[in-house]
A = this chain, B = another copy of it.
Amino acid sequence: MSVVIAREKFQAYLAQKGLRVTNQRLAIFDAAFAQKEHFTAEQLLDRARAIDDSVSRATVYRTLPLMTESHILREVDIGSGEKFYMPAGTGGTQVAQVVCVDCDKIYEISAPFMEWYGSTVSLKLGLKPISQRLQVSAHCIAFRQTGRCPNRTKK
């Protein structure tokens, strides 16, 4: 999904909800779509402030749900305390994450069967599926070679 289309989608969502397109929201949007990797709320705040230094932490946290609800951003929870976000691709929710447990780097992989599996399993239980997440934890290449991740920042 291109930035242009995402911006349209976002603005359409805001309009539909009777919400306003403010400078702060746009700054946060632009900051999010300038990222190439996964990012946290805090990182997003920094980037957004570089665009518009009036952006506050509260507004970032209030805007993130708007962006995920409008499906222009995907939330990735790897169970590490903080949540990660990234621009949603065109692939919907059919993405699995492979996480290096040493440096927390997140690789993403298309996994279309997940949707099929989610439906199958849900229906078997009599449930109505909404979404599914598949996450693999692993040691990265560098770890295998040197016993340590180059990116590693953890204790």
Contacts and interface: CB of A to CB of B under 8 A. Distances in A.
Interface of A: 77, 79, 83, 96, 98, 100-101, 107, 109, 111, 114, 117-118, 121-122, 125-141, 143-144
A141 B24 CA distance: 41
Given A121-B98, A121-B109, A138-B122, A133 B130 contact: no
Nearest to A109: B121
Given A98-B127, A100-B127, A132 B137 contact: yes
A79 B78 CA distance: 8
A130 B139 contact: yes
B128 A138 contact: yes
A139 B127 contact: yes
Contacts of A132: 134-137
Contacts of A122: 98, 136, 138
Copies in the complex: 2
A143 B132 CA distance: 19
Contact of A136 (B107, B111, B129, B140): B129
A136 B109 contact: no
Given A77-B79, A133-B135, A141 B127 contact: yes
Contacts of A77: 77, 79
A117 B83 CA distance: 24
A125 B107 contact: yes
B131 A137 contact: yes
A144 B111 CA distance: 28
20 contacts: A77-B77, A77-B79, A79-B83, A96-B117, A98-B127, A107-B127, A109-B121, A118-B138, A121-B136, A122-B136, A127-B138, A127-B140, A127-B141, A128-B139, A128-B144, A131-B137, A132-B134, A132-B137, A133-B135, A134-B135
